[in-house]
Amino acid sequence: MLSKMYRWLVALTVCATQLVQATPIQTRESDYFLPNSTGFRMQHGFETILVQPFGFDGFRVRAWPFRPPTGHEISFIYDPPLEGFENGQAHGLTFDTAFNGNHTVAIRNGNTIVRTSGWGGNPGGYRLAFYRIEQDGSESLLTNEYAPLKSINPRYYSWNGPGSEFSAEFSFSTTPDEQFYGTGTQQDHLVNKKGTVIDLINFNTHIPTPVFMSNKGYAFIWNMPAQGRMEFGQLRTKLTAESTTVVDYVIVATTPGDYDTLQKRLSALTGRAPTPPDFSLGYIQSKLRYENQTELELLAQKFKDNNVPVGMIVIDYQSWRNQGDWGLDPALWPDVAAMAKKVKDLTGAEIMASLWPSVSDASDNYLELQANGYLSATRDGPGTTDSWNGSYIRNVDSTNPGARKFIWSTLKRNYYEKGIKNFWIDQADGGALGEAYENNGQSTYIQSVPFALPNVLYAAGTQQSAGKYYPWAHQLAIEEGFRNVTDSKEGEACEHISLSRSGYIGSQRFCSMIWSGDTTSAWETLGLQIASRLSAAATGWGWWTMDAGGFQPDPTVPWSSNIDTPEYRELYVRWLQWATFVPFMRTHGQRVCDNQDAYTCNNEPWSYGEKNTPIILSYIHLRYQLASYLRALFDQFHKTGRMIMRPLYMDFEKTDPKVSQWTQANNNVTTQQYMFGPRLLVSPITTPNVTEWSVYLPQTGQNGTKPWTYWWTNQTYAGGQTVTVPAPVEHIPVFHLGKREDILSGNVF
C-alpha cells in the first residue's frame, strides 16, 4: 500500500505548479516524497527542526531545543526572497507536514532535494541531507549532517548560563577536495578557505561573515547574529553560535562552476546592491587628516588649479570637539555650508565626514542618549566599553531603532542640511572600538592585550548573541536616514553613500562601501588585500575599497608611509594603480614625512615627487575614462548580483583545469590575479623594483580562441599560458578581452 501511494505521489509531481517545482525523480522506496510541500517540522526528542523550500533551488532550516522561536528573531535574509516560487508570500514558520523522525521524508525545490535519514544505524529520519538533481535524473550529494557512527550529534546544543539561550555546534560533511569561497574578509592570502578556522568576531581589518560558496555547486548562509566560529576541516565543516535561541541557515544550489547563478541565488536571499552615484565612481581623496575648513578649501582650490578630477573629499576623525557630538568642531569648521558649496563649485566634488560610535560624557549628546537608553552597556562593571583620548566612552547602541533615529537626526542637522551628505562609519565593529586593545594612551603598534573583550549588552542582546548584528545595524542607521531624506526605497539608486569598516550578511543591500580597515604600508600587506577582496566578492559584497598606500606605518619597515623616501613612493604608486581597478578608487592613510608632524603629512596626487606625479595623475584620468565600463558593472551587480571583482575560478574553472587546481592550493596566480568585470584581467605588482611581470592568461574556451591583449602594448596572446610582459613603474599589468572601444563605451554585456 505504501509503495502504491509513493508511486502515485511521484506521478503527481509531473503537473506540479505550486510553491515547489517538482518533476519525476529517482527517489528511494523508503521515502515519503512530498510534492508541493511548504515544509516539514520534525520532532526529535526535545529538539524541533523546521525545513522549508526557499527561493530558487534552496531550503531554509531552523532548529531549536525546547522553546520554539517567535518568528521575529534577527534575520539577514528576505522572507520571501526576491526571486523564487513564493509569489510574494512570506514563509514565516509555516509547514504542512509534521512527524517525529520515525520515517524518512524528501521534498524538492527546483534542482535541490532535502531528505531525512537516520544515523548510527537508526533507520529513522533524524539527519538532513541535501542533493542536487542532475540532468539525467540522478542525485549528487551536496552535503549532509556529519555523524559518523557513535559520534557526537551533528546538531549539538549546550547551555552555558541561566536563561533559555544556548550555544550550538552544527556539523556538515565535506570531502578533502572540496573548496570553499567567501566567509567575509580576513588577512590570510587565501581564496580557498578549506583547512581554516575563522572566528566570527569583527575587529579592525577582520570582517568574518558566514556566507560561502562551494565548488560542488552550492552556497550556505549561517543566518544568525551570534558570535561563533567557522571550521572548514577535511571531512567536517562545523559552524558554531555562542549564544542563540534558534539555529537558522539556508542552502541553495546550482550546477558546479555556475557561480553567477549561485550569486544570483544568494543575492535574492540577502539583498541586491543599489547603483552608486556617479561621483563615487571617480577618485576619492582622503588622508589622516584635514584639520580645518581653510585647509580643505585650499585643497579644493589646488585640485582645480591642477585640473585634477576628484569625486569626493573626506574629512577624517577628530574633526569634532567631543566623542559623540556627530558634528564638526565650530572652532575649526566655522561655516560648514559655505565650505561644502565652495568645494562643490571648485571641483564638483562631494564631501564625506567621519563618525564614530563612541560617546564620552563630555559630548553634547551624552545625557540624552543615556537617559533614553541609547548607549550600549556591559553586563557587569561600570558600563564603559573602551577609552579614547584619555576619556572612557560608551558606544551608541545601533541595534536600538530609537538610537538609529537619534544618530541620523543629529547627522542631518549638523552635516546633511549644511551640504555634507556622505558619511564614514568608522570603528563600528561592535563591542569595543574594534581594536585588540583599549585605545587610551597605548601604542598604535600594540597587537593584543590578554583581556577579554567587553561583555557588551545591547537592546538586541549580548555581544555573544547579537554582536555580529551591531556593524550591520550601524550601516542601517545611515541607510534609513538616506532613504528617508531622499524619499527612496531600499534597492533604488543611491544619491549618497557611506563608508564602513565592517559589515555582515547582506551589507551589499545598503548604499555603503566596505573597506579593508587600517592596513599597514608594506608590500606584504598590499598582496594580502587582493585575496581578501576576492573573498569579499564571493561573500556577495561588491561595494568594496581600501586605503591606497596602506593606512599606517609598519614598525618593521623603516621607510613605511614616508612620502619623502623612494621606497614608499614606489609602493604608493603601485597601490594606487591597483586602486584604479577596484569598485571604488580611494586613497587614505597616515603619512610620515621628514619635516612635519605625521598628522599633517600630505597624501595628495602631487605629494610623491615630480617623477611620480604624472603617473598618479594618469591613473586618476584612466579611472574616469573607464566610467561607462564601471557603470555597466555596477548595473549588472544591481540586477543580478554578478560580481565586479571576480576570482579566476568564477570565469575559468570550466575552461581551464589549471585554475581549479591552483585555486585549491591557493596558488599565487589565483590569489593575486582577478577579472575586473567580464573584460579586464588585472595582476597588481606586489614586489618592489619590478620592470617586468609574469601573468597567467587563463584559457578562455575549449580551443582558447579568444585572445588576450596587453593594455599597454596592444600585443595579443593566446590563453592557457604564462607570459612575461614589460611592467615599468608606469604600468600595472592589465589584459583585456575583446575591443578596447567596447570596454571604454561600457558595451560589454
- Indicate which residues carry an active-site annotation: 426, 518
CB atoms within 10 A of CB 589: 26
φ, ψ of residue 63 to 5 degrees: the values are -140, 145
Cα angle value 705/727/565 (rounded, 5°): 155
Cα–Cα distance, 186 to 324 (Å, whole number): 29
Q: What is the DSSP letter of 396?
A: B
- First-last CA distance in the chain: 55
- Are 642 and 260 spatial neighbours (Cβ–Cβ below 8 Å)? yes
CA atoms of 565 and 78, how far apart (whole Å): 51
Q: Is-contact 664 647, C-beta < 8 A?
A: no
For residues 382 and 398, give the distance between their C-alpha atoms in angstroms, rounded to a whole number.
20
* Phi and psi, residue 342, nearest 5°: -65, -45
| Cell numbers for 101 | 523522525
> What is the rounded CA–CA span in Å between residue 595 and residue 598?
9
Separation in Å, CA 369 to CA 356, 377, 402, 415, 615: 15, 12, 10, 19, 49
Torsion of CA 702, 703, 709, 714, to 10 degrees: -170
Grid coordinates of 427: 570603528
Instruction: With beta carbons less than 8 A apart as the criterion, state whether 197 and 188 touch.
Output: no
Return the H-helix or E-strand segment holding 7: helix 2-12
Q: Collect all residues with Cβ–Cβ distance below 8 Å to 699 and sequence separation of at least 6.
A: 652, 655, 656, 658, 719, 720
Q: Which residues lie closer than 8 Å to 210 by C-beta, 6 or more apart?
A: 183, 184, 200, 220, 221, 222, 224, 228, 230, 239, 505
C-alpha cell at 102: 520515525
| CA dist., res. 291 & res. 749, Å (int) | 45
Residue 154: closest CA among 47, 57, 18 = 47
How far is 490 from 467, CA to CA, in rounded Å?
24
Who's near 163: CB < 8 A, 6+ residues apart? none
CA angle 512, 246, 155 (to 5 degrees): 115
Cell of 749: 554585456
Residues 6+ apart with CB under 8 A from 1: none
Q: Do residues 282 and 311 touch, judged by C-beta distance below 8 A?
A: yes
Cα–Cα–Cα angle for 426, 376, 413, rounded to 5 degrees:
55
CA 251 from centroid of its chain's CA atoms? 18
The helices-and-strands tally (H runs, E runs) of the chain is 16, 40
* Separation CA 499–CA 409 (nearest Å): 19
Look at residue 587 and give its three-state secondary structure.
strand
Inter-residue contact 129 to 114 (CB < 8 Å): yes
Instruction: Write the secondary structure of 298-321 as one string of H (helix), E (strand) and C (coil).
Output: HHHHHHHHCCCCCCEEEECCCCCC
Rounding to the nearest 10 degrees, give the CA dihedral for residues 320, 321, 322, 326.
Answer: -40
d(CA 541, CA 267): 10
DSSP for 108-123, please give it: EETTEEEEEE--TT--
Q: d(Cα 484, Cα 406) in Å, to the nearest integer?
A: 14
